[in-house]
Amino acid sequence: MRLYTLASAPNAIRVLMLLREKPLDIEIVELDAEAREQKTPEFLAINPLGQVPALQLDDGICIAESLPISRYLDSISEGPSLFGATPESRAVIEMWERRAELGLFIPAVEYGHHTQPMMAEYFTQYVDWGNSLVGTVQTCLTLLDERLAETGWLGGTDFSIADITAYAGYRVAAFWSMPLQSEPNLSVWLHRMSERACASVVPL
């Protein structure tokens, strides 16, 4: 198998985080962002959207999008599933993963796309809309903080894919210096996350 990534691509980082928690024998192919290697005909044959991550299986099947890739890799790896072991746990983990993605991860990424001058050459920027996402992220952080007052990890008693998505999103927000207020339970969780193996692959 080959996993195509870019070092600073937030969605690719999510998959690399999972692989650090659940190691597999997989070839990591780091594309050259400056050379726009993800837009070459060769890579577009793997993912027509020209985006990473993309996973090419040994039989030639290609899987794109971070969550399906993560789910597949989790399913073929050893150890407890990061997506849950029972119908109930799977549903709860997916709920919190989705909340973290929609309320934190995606808005943090889009905040950078639309407010940072360095991104202007890549995106048509809507600065006012980008700045409005600070409130969206803060609301999500408060929600996550309330959840973490009840349980050790977002999905329940065990670390899960929901924690990976939320941590990646928080690190993106911190990278862009989003003006956010700290949350007490979230701060404890962030410290616990920083001590896990998966945190070491986050360059942001």
**What CATH number does the domain located at 2-76 have?**
3.40.30.10
Q: Where are the domains of the chain?
A: 2-76, 87-201
- With tokens 């192919």, the residue in question is 29
- Nearest CA-CA partner of 134 in 188, 186, 174, 190: 174
CA distance 55 to 122: 25
pLDDT tens for the chain, 204 residues: list them: 999 999 889 999 999 999 999 999 999 999 998 888 999 999 999 999 999 999 999 999 999 999 999 999 999 999 999 999 999 999 999 999 999 999 999 999 999 999 999 899 889 999 999 999 999 999 999 999 999 999 999 999 999 999 999 999 999 999 999 999 999 999 999 999 999 999 999 987
Token look-up 């993800």 returns 38
Tokens of 43: 């890579």
Q: Measured between alpha carbons, how far is 112 from 136 in angstroms, rounded to an integer?
A: 14
pLDDT recorded at residue 204: 72
Could you tell me which CATH class the domain 87-201 is placed in? mainly alpha
